[in-house]
Structure formats: C-alpha cells, structure tokens
Structure 1
Amino acid sequence: MELRIGYTHSLYKILGLCCFLIIALLLIYSLNTSSIANNELYPPTTRVSLVSKKTEPQKYYVKTSKCHIPFVDPFNDEAMKLYKPRTLITCSNEPDLISTKYNKVIKRHVLHIDDEVAQKLFNYTDTEYNCFYREIKYGNHADTYDNLKAKKYFTSGYVVPVHVEGIIVECQTAEDPIVVLQKDAFTFIQHRPLPKDPVKPRTARKPSVIMYGIDSLSRINLRRTMPKVFNFLQGPGWYEMQGYNKVADNSFPNILAILSGYSPSTAKKNVCDTDDEGCLDKMPMIWKYFKNASYLTGYAEDESKFNHFSFQKPGFSKKPVDYYFRPLLMALETEMDEYRLPEYNLMRYCLGRRIANRYIYDYAQQFTQRFVHDRPIWGMFWSTHFSHDDPFLPSSMQEKILGDLLDMHEDRAFEEMIMIFFADHGTRFGKLTDLKEGYLEERLPMMFIYLPPWFRETYPSYVRALELNQHRLSSNFDLHNTLKHIIEIGGTPDGQSLPKSFDCPTCQSLFYPLPEGRTCSEAGIEEHWCTCEPYRTITGLSWTTPIAQSVIDRMNEYFVRKNLTSLCFNLTLDYIHKTELKTGLNIDWHQKMKEMETAVYRTKFKVKQNSADFQATVVYHNSTKYAQVDVEKISRTTSYKNDSTCIDDKLAKPYCICYDNLIKDQYFRIELVLN
C-alpha cells in the first residue's frame, strides 16, 4: 500500500512538472511572438522584412481619376538582361597612417599617427619620419581657395585648431632622399557654441532637415541597384513619394525648383538671369529662409566642374551657407592625386586615398553629429560621381550609403531630424532609356521623406497627409513648399507665412492632402515630362515619318534663330525608334482616331549626325503635317559631351552636332545621302 501511494505521488510530481514546462514554453512562445510582432528582436536594417507583403503585385505608383503612373518591376527580364552589378573599387589598399577623431569632451578634432602602420610602410626599419599638414585657405571669392598655408608639423594626439576647416596632411622621411609615406586630406566641421541671444518668446520645436542627394537615380533603379538601402527606407517613419515627377530635363532646373521655387526662365524675368555673375547670390534660395529662422546651414557637392551652380554657371560670389564645401573641394581636386574609372572618365572617382563621395557624406555626417542635438540645422549633401555616368555603379556603393544611414541611426540623429533622401531625375542616357519603361526611368526620381517620432506625435494630421500623398502626383515645387512649411512650423521671425513656389501657384506643402484629381499642369509639370497619361505605340512609316521629320525641321529652324548654322550641322533623319500617340484616360481610342485633327505624340528618333538620339513630345497637325514643339524641351537620350564643344550655349548644346565634332565616317555617309 505504501509503495502504491509513493508511486502515485511520484506520478503527480511528473505530471505537475510536465504541466509547468508546457505553460513555460507557451509563455516563452507568446513573448517571442509578441516581440517579433513589435520588431523588438531585430535591428533596424531587418525590421522591414517582417512587414506583411501585399498579396497582389503593385500595378501603379499612382492611380487617381486624372493620373495613372504605372509601376515598373525593376527586375523584369528586359532590364535584367542589361543589369550587371558593379564591384566596389577601393582607392587605397594601405591602412591609414593618419586618422582623425572628434573628442566630444573637449569638442575638438584630434589627429592620430599609427606607428605600426609607419613601420609596415618602412618594412620595419628604423627610418625616422615627420608628419605635417598644410591648412586650406579660403579665397576672397566664395567658390575658390587661395593656396595652402605653410607646413605645420605635428605629433600623434595633436588637437586641430578650431579655426581650421580643411588640411592636406603628409608624412615623409626625415632625411634625404625624401620618401613620402602617405598623403591624405581631411575636412572638419568645427564646433560652434550656441549664440548668447537675449531671451526670446518660446516657439514651437524646430525640426532639423538633412537632404541626402544622389544624381540620376530613379525610384526604379534604386530598387534594382541598392535593395538594402531601399529596405532600410521602408522602416517606420519613412514615406516614399511614389508620384514624384521631375519638372525639367537635367539637374539645374530640377534642383533650382526645389531650392528656390523658380524655373530659370521665370527667374530671368522676375529676379535675374542665373547665367549672370551675381544672380545666384540674389536668388531667394531656401537656405536664406532657414538661416533667417536661426538654422545653421550647410551645402556640399562632390564635383566642382559639374556642381549645380557652377556647371556653365557663374557660381556664388558670396559664401551662401554657414558650412560651404566647394572651396575645400577645389583644394582637394588641385592638391590630391585623382583617379577616374577608365570607362567613365567624366567624373573623378578617387581623390587621394578616398572615394570622392566619402568627403561629401563625411562632411554631412560631421555636420549632423556636431549640431543636430543642440540646435536646428539645414543641410544638403549631393553626390554625382558614382551615379551620373553609369546607372549600375550605385550597386557598388550600396554598403557605403547604407552605412551612412545606419551611422546616423546609431548617433540618434533620426530622433531629431527630417531627412529627405532624393534625386534630381533618373537615367537620361544609355541603354536603360531604350527600355519599354525608359520614359519612366528618366522622369521618376526617387524621393523618400523621414519624419522623427516627436514630429509624428505632435503633428498627426501632417503624417496622415504625407501617407495619403505617397500615391498622388507631386513635384519639385511641392517639395519647395514643404521646406517652407517646415520653417513655418518652428516659427518665422516675423510670424508671417513664407512665399510659395513662384512657378506653380497651385502647388502646396506635402503636409496637406494633395487633390485627388490633380493633373500635371496643376503640379507644375509640363507635358513632355508628365507620366500621368498613357500612350499607345503606332506603326507605319507613312504616318510616323512625317512627325519625326517635322520635329527635325523645328530643330534646324532653332539653329537659324540662334545663329548657330555656321557651327551646328543641319540634322537629317536616320530612323525612328518608336512613335506613340497619347490616348488619355478613359477614352475610346478607336473613336479618337476617327475624330482627331491634331493629337499629342511622343516620337523617339535617330539622326544621321553622330547617331544622336532624341525624344520629343509634340502636338502634330495631321492635315498640315506640322509638329508644334518647344525644341528646348526635346530630350537628348545619348550623351552629347563630345558633340557640341564648339558652342557655350547650354540650352542648345544637346541639339548641336558641331562641324568639328562630326565623326568622320559619318560625314562621308551623310554626304553620299545628300548628294
């Protein structure tokens, strides 16, 4: 009997233990499931992989009553036949002999020399060496530097003087023959104490704004070449403006629209000619408004020749922002060795021992780290060199760009700032433009806006509007108004509203709902750049040839008006790539064909001169065979850098094939045809 009782007691113990284990496992599973649902177990870079996917594939970026922008699969078969991921090319395989670190306690930059690296460079001999730097001295003109100051020798642990903003450093043997161990360059955002202003009335919290720009990168190509970056941009607080449509052909007018609210032509009539010396200083640039609202301001680009405000432009005569990188860049390009990729030699790839864009984005990182937790800042940091010439080269920079974003996340900068991660336009030249979706690749730049948690909590109506506007048509002018709105949120000095974009009176801040039935004209987007309405391909030489030929006639007439006929070849049609008819939304196409006297066409053709390709959107009169087109709105879809060296007129350059630049065998072929 006692044995039976003992056995039963043991059985109860076992059953009790099993129940306890089952309950414990269920609790652990429940906690894990809850944590996973809240993304608590995953770092920021992987959180978005947990977001539920739509069951049906996306068909449109925008689908409203007046605008259908079709979604493009970046990995479709046609595109993937062209796509070849690029490998990152490093500029130096040597470890850094000299490095710099910011000391947060003393708020100063400190130079360090690594003796072990020096020993390796000297093959472990007892050779003595010295290190020195030369300070980059700013010039009298805002866009230049004068020279380098005298050598300043230093040892490891040297604290950089607070007035120094850029240096060229060099370590070399102490005795003849002098051997240079390593040469490098550093730029510094120095700490600036808060101003001791008298007590002012308390205003709303001012959000900082950092604009991180990449030239020629469409939303389609971002997904294709930098999927990890795209993945990061799907995280909480990020909003993709999928209806964002460029308003002009190349960088300058698109960027000018964002930063000033003007196009070059209206600026010429109402403010000044942006080609004239001093005009850019007069333009109502957005940084002036930020500066007036007590923001610190910064601006940097990575190519001096192709800078937005210096490429065939006069640049600035006065320093436009508090932290202006261009004079430092001019020194780096002059004093440091450079390397260009053999197949894409237009842009510098390496400046000294570093990839060119690293200087720019490091400058952005320093600017943000130094000030974002203490005061409101605005800065725009732009790279051209790794995306302009090769649409697939961004794939090699993916880890670098992602690293920048993760560093800002680690520094908690995203807790304070609005970030605008954007481009000016998509790919304008090359094979991607020949794809079925090439028209969209060119006209739909990427645009992502991040709102920090406190901003989302304080302004829920703005968040709801931005969420809604992700799938509505928007433009550069809307972004300009949004930047002005951000300033107004923190309070303008006089309490007044700021002027909105001049060129688009119907444009608005993206923090207010955009109209559902918005058209391109209401967003300040001209017909040629508009992606809202469908086109249908038409065939038949008897129909398509007169359209292309009439466009070429307008181009040749343009040369006459501009007095360029003695320099630019008269263009002749080679063949037509494609002709499309604008059908419009919710229209019976067959009925329209019967009724139309005039119609809008999109024609892409090649001329005999240097095999140049063009794409034009025209109003064509079927009875008169006349194409009505603004020549300066015609897209050149092949590079023209070697075709128009005989003229300086930047508006005419895409269309001019200079007599001196005509390819020789082309010349004989054209002569035979003409004779």
Structure 2
Amino acid sequence: MTFIEAKKMKFTCYERIVFVDKVSEDKIRFRIDQTKTKQNVTTFKCCYKFASRSIERDKEDIAITYTSCVPFENDTVTVLEEEVVIVSCIQKANKKTVFTYEDAYLILKKQYTEHLKLQVKEDAVIMKDNWNVLIVGMDTMSRARAHHSIPKTLRYMREHDWLDYQGYQKVGANTYPNIMAILTGKNYTEVSKACGMTMDNCQQLLIWNKFRDAGYVTAYGEDNLKLPDTFSTRHGFKTPPTDHYTRPFFLTGEHRIGNLVCTKSRPSAEHMLDYALQFAQEYKNDSFFGFFWINSYSHNLDNLPTLLENNLINFFENLRDVGTLDNTFVIFLSDHGIRFGKVRFQTEAYYEERLPMLFMWVPHAFRETYPEEYHILKLNQYRLTTPYDLHATLWDFMKMTTNWIDIVPPEACPECKSFTKEVSPNRTCADVQVSQKWCTCHNLTDATHDPAANRSLELAVAFVQNRSKSIKTAECTMCSPLILKTVLRQHSYRDGNNTYYVVAFMFSSGPGFEATVEHDGNNFNILPFTDPITSYNMKGYCVINKLDRPYCSCLKVSKCKKKNK
C-alpha cells in the first residue's frame, strides 16, 4: 500500500521565553530568559494569571475564566492555584511597545486522594497488586500507517517487548462509536439512546468513573478542539468528567502553523504528553486511570505523524525512567485508519481504514505474577479483537487491583472477553458484533467484470445521486447534479450464502464514495453507510444540515432573488 502523507512544512510554534518550573506539589517558579527578548531595552514586565472552567450555565465546557494578572519577576515563586497558567509580557522603549509575549502552561496540581477513598464502596478492598492504566491515543492511525509514519516508535516498542494486536478491528465509522465502545461497552445505537445530546446523561456509563468509584485518580485530555473533538458533538460535560481534565488549557487558544497545531509556544500534543507524564509520575504509587487523546499530528490530511516520533519515544522512555511502567499497563492505540483522501482510492485502504493500531505495555511484575494470563495476552495478538474486548480488559485490570465489583461484560457484545482470556482463532465478526460493513475477516476478489458488481455500482451511484437531490440548501442555492466520472475499484467477497460487493467511485464535481452492497439471490441491498472517501467537501457550504455536506457541490441559482427577511 502506498501512503500519501502531507509534505513537511518547516514551520514551528514560537520560541519560549518564560519558563515555569514546579518546585513543590503546590508551588511554581517563573524563569525569564532575557537573552531572547529585545536587547538594549530594560522595561520588560510580566504578569501571570490562572485559568479555569467557566461557571456560566451552558458554557462550562466551551469557555474559561481568568484571575487578575499578578506582576512577577525572574525567580518569583508563587502558589499553583489552578493547573492552567497564562503569562503575559510587554517590553517598551520610549513609551512605545516594541515586544509582546504570551504563553500558556499546563501543570498538574496533585489532588490528595483522601476524598477518593471516602467515595469508594464500603466493601471494596484494595488487593496486594496495584495495576494502573494509561491510555494514549492518536486519531486516524491504522496499524499499517503506524508502520509507515512512526517506524522508529514501533521499533522502540519491539525492542522493549510491547505487545502488538494485529487483528484489532474497529466497530464504527469514526472516532465517537469506537471510543465509546471502549469506554462504555455499548454500540453506537445504545450510546446515542443513553447520552442523547449531552454527555452528562451518560457520565456514569464511562469506565473511568467505574475506576474512580474503585478509588482510582482519573484524567482525560484531548487536543485540537476545533475539529470538533470526541465529545463536543454531544455538547461536552457540564461537570468535569475526571479528576484531572485538560480542556480548559486548550481553550486558551490553539492555532495552526504548517503541519502543527500550537497552544501558544508549543505544539498542543507536546503539552499533552508532558501532562500525561506528570500525571503518571505523581500518582504512580496510588491507583490511576488516564486517557489522553492526540488529534493534532494525525487527524487531518495536512498533519504529519512523523513529526511527533521523538516526543513519543521520549515519553515512553520517561515513563520507564520514573518507574511508572513497573505497575502500569500502557495502551497506545487509535480509533480507525485514514478515512479520506487519495490513500482511500487503493484496494488495500479497505483494510487499512478498518484496522487501527493497538500496542500494549505489560508490567514485568504482572508477567511474573500472572504467567498464564501474560501468555494469553501474547497469543491474542494474532486473533480478532475489538474495542468491546478492550472494554472487558479494562474491567479485568481494575478487578485485579480491587474486589470492588464483578466484571460487567460489554452490553453490545456479551461474548467479548478480556485480552487475558484466550480468543478463538475461529472467531468471526458476527461473534463479536462487528457488522459486515466494517468486517475485514475476508479476502477481496477483483470483480471488475462481474455483472452483479456492475449492478451494485449502479445502485450505489443512484443512491448517492438521489440523496443529493433531496438535500435542503440555503436560499438561491442548489446541489449540482452528480455525474459519475471514475470507478476506483470493484471487489467482492463471500460470507455464507451471500456475496458482498465493495465499490468505490467518484463524481465529476469531486466527491468520492465507498459502498458495500449485499447480494442475496436476486436481491441487492446497500449496507449502511455509503461513506465519502474524498477530503472534506469545501463545495458543500450551502447545505442546511452539515451531515449532507459530503453529498453536495453547491451552485448559485441564476436570476434568483433572496426574499427579504
């Protein structure tokens, strides 16, 4: 398979001048590197302020509040009131401003765990073993793309005996259903019913809350909030979802520079990895569950995962050096592969898009204490696994630390099991509730000259064309007629008595799609969903419902006058 990554644009975030060091659990020191300021100007003045979540109703997860700005000098020490610190500096000459500087810092403020112990169930008993869980995710990273784009990271993992789950299979189209399958054990339909349009409705379903109830300190972080991020389509959280929550930091302002997404002077992902390291180090002797998700180096077509390689390797090495890996399972994973762009025109992209990466570090102490379970963990690297299995695995790790509760099997897949339980080599997608649309457990056969494939193509093209015709658009606009331009690929596979045709095609106005059509005797049935495979449609600006955007190339209607409002 040929991967087409963005070209490296030689841009960086800007240079850091003021540094903030943590000198104790609740105190920080400011350091000013005045060699990087305008020279021969003596009036360089700075102040700091803290930022936190807004307390205004319905703005809790989309806005932040600031304290007043307090002046400071080089080597000033102050109390760390909040985890987000903003520094502003100004330099004047002859009463004119010649230089300004603003920066943001994300510094972990340790919470004392007594409040967590008070909420643990009365019959909970912390076992002798204390297994922590740290999940680090990179969006849109298939296992194949990981080998192509971050090869040094994967070589590091092989050399240090990480596990590589080669048959890890996604269960939904995009980030939300795949992440929620891990966090709740539910499928998209069940999650949508439970959560509705606000994550507050389903907070208690998220497994990090189960860990918190069992006495774990919890954290969740995600960068590149303009995407939008995983939960903002459900209007986010009115109350913080975890003990530590990074969203207020990234709300201070992210901006794109070349391949990078920066929060002030540093790439957002670097802030995230540093904070995840602080979290894992501070609580390594407690029980912790951390979930950190990086979008900014891999989600969009102008991102370049290779640029994060050295930071990833340093992060994993630092975890080892501070002793966190002694009792922590680290799971490095993704939600799916590349869903849009020219990469998707290739036959192999059918598999790439459906098989995200999943690598796991297993503590040496666990390997020695549970040799049989470790043997099975290794064996399951070569078997079909899903986010539902990973959900069961997280319950299993929690159960090994506390007797708080019996393991709850994933609701969407009661037959799914922890990675520590052997998975059958004959396991099928049907066994683990993976739909035909996403299943990769078959070989695609070229069907270019198969009459049934051509019929499937005709149905899929007509389906998209009809949807485009029914789209509601803004006044004096319409969707241009979709005319088939190119057939990118036609393949088939057998499953039971049915044949399935996978067809990909493009229209003359630009959009391309992939569809799966089930052929049962004389019947043809298009499986949900027919997916756009070309990049985000900038031509679909006129649609009323943003979900219709991939299916519309907007035209202005000639001689149309808008009605006066």
TM-score (norm 2): 0.88
How far, CA to CA, are the matches of 2:161 and 2:352 in structure 1? 26
CA distance in 2, matches of 1:210, 1:518: 28
Task: From 160, 163, 167, give the equivalent of 2:85.
Answer: 167
Instruction: Give the Cα–Cα distance (whole angstroms) in 1 for the partners of residues 449 and 530 of structure 2.
Output: 23
- Between Structure 1 and Structure 2, which shows a larger proportion of helix residues? 1
1:280·1:316 contact (CA, 8 Å) conserved in 2?
no
Aligned partner of 1:321 among 234, 242, 247: 242
Deviates more, 1:172-181 or 1:473-482: 172-181
Residue deviations 1:103-161 (CA, integer Å, cap 9, x gap): 3xx324422323xx3145232x2513222112113212441334322111122333342
Q: Does 1:79 align with 2:12?
A: no
Q: Compare the two structures and name the one with the higher strand fraction.
A: 2
Question: How far apart in 2 are the matches of 1:477 and 1:640?
Answer: 29
Residue 278 of structure 1: how far off its partner (Å): 5.1
Relative to the length of structure 1, the TM-score reads: 0.75
**2:42 corresponds to:** 127
Matched, 1:152 2:70: yes
Are the structure 2 counterparts of residues 260 and 291 from structure 1 closer, same or farther at C-alpha, using a change threshold of 3 Å?
Answer: same
Alpha-carbon distance in structure 1 between the residues aligned to 2:92 and 2:453: 74
Which residue does 1:536 correspond to in 2?
A: 445
Supply the distance in 2 between the matched residues of 1:574 and 1:278 (Cα, whole angstroms). 42
Change (3 A) 1:432 1:646: same
| Distance in 1 between residues matched to 2:31 and 2:203, nearest whole Å | 45
- Alignment of 1:139 with 2:59, yes or no, is no
User: Which of 1 and 2 has greater Rg?
Assistant: 1
Aligned to 2:207: 286
Alignment partner, residue 232 of structure 1: 156
Give the whole-Å Cα distance in 2 for the aligned partners of 1:351 and 1:653: 32
Cα pair 1:426 1:441 within 8 Å, conserved? yes
1:414 is matched with which residue: 325, 331, 340?
Answer: 325
By how many angstroms is 1:236 displaced?
A: 4.0
- Taking the aligned partners of 1:361 and 1:232, their CA distance within structure 2 comes to 17
Q: How does 1:658-673 map to 2 (within 5 A)?
A: 659-660=554-555
Matched to 1:79, the amino acid is T
Q: In the alignment, is the contact (CA less than 8 A) between 2:460 and 2:526 conserved in 1? A: yes
Distance 2:256 2:160 in 1: 39
C-alpha distance 251-611 of structure 1, shift in aligned 2 (>3 A): same
CA RMSD of aligned residues (A): 3.0
8 A Cα contact 1:189 1:366, kept in partner: yes
Q: Structure 1: where are the runs of 5+ without partners?
A: 1-77, 586-595, 665-675
Query: Deviations 1:634-661 (Å, cap 9, x if unpaired)?
Result: 22211234244444656x4365215359
Q: Report SS of the residue matched to 2:252.
A: helix
8 A Cα contact 1:166 1:328, kept in partner: yes
**Aligned partners of 1:661 and 1:413: how far apart in 2?**
59
Question: In the alignment, which of 300, 304, 314 is matched to residue 389 of structure 1?
Answer: 300
Task: Tell me: CA distance 1:627–1:503, structure 2 relative to 1, closer, same or farther (3 Å).
Answer: same
Residue identity opposite 2:368 in structure 1: E
**Aligned pair 1:339/2:256, yes or no?**
yes
What's the secondary structure of 1:205's corresponding residue?
A: coil
- Identical pairs, percent: 25
Q: Which whole-Å CA distance do the structure 2 matches of 1:304 and 1:456 have between them?
A: 38
Look up the match of 1:403. 314
Single out whichever of 249-258 and 230-239 deviates more from structure 2: 230-239
Which residue does the alignment assign to 1:553? Answer: 462
> How many Å separate the matches in 2 of 1:119 and 1:236?
41
Distance 2:29 2:533 in 1: 48
Structure 1 position 245 matched with structure 2 position 174:
no
Please tell me whether the aligned partners of residues 217 and 445 of structure 1 are also in contact (alpha carbons under 8 angstroms).
yes
Equivalent in the alignment of 2:365: 454
Distance, in Å, in 2 between the alignment partners of 1:564 and 1:520 is 39
State the secondary structure of the residue aligned to 1:254.
helix
Matched with 1:369 is: 281
Q: Is the 8 A contact 2:169 2:386 kept in 1?
A: yes
Change (3 A) 1:548 1:436: closer
CA contact (8 A) 2:296 2:303 kept: no
Whether contact under 8 Å (2:13, 2:257) holds in the other structure is no
Q: What code does the residue aligned with 2:325 have?
A: F
CA distance 1:515–1:529, shift in 2 (3 Å): same
Structure 1 residues 540 and 569 mapped into 2: Cα distance closer, same or farther (>3 Å)? same
**1:468 maps to which residue?**
379
Query: Is the contact between residue 518 and residue 526 of structure 2 (CA under 8 Å) also seen in structure 1?
Result: yes
Q: Within 2, Cα distance between the matches of 1:113 and 1:508? A: 51
Amino acid at match of 1:476: P
What residue number does 1:437 align with? 348
1:563 deviates by 7.4
Q: In structure 2, what is the equivalent of residue 616 of structure 1?
A: 515
Structure 1 residue 478: deviation in Å? 0.7
Mapped partners of 1:264, 1:523: distance in 2: 15
- Amino acid in the other structure paired with 1:128: T
Contact 2:467–2:551 (8 Å) recurs in 1: no
Per-residue CA shift, 1:597-620, capped at 9, x if unaligned? Answer: x52111111133x32111111113
CA contact (8 A) 1:185 1:332 kept: no
Deviation at 1:466, TM superposition (A): 0.7
436 and 550 in structure 1: CA distance in 2 versus 1, 3 angstrom threshold: closer
Deviation at 1:88, TM superposition (A): 6.2
3-state DSSP class of the match of 1:454? helix
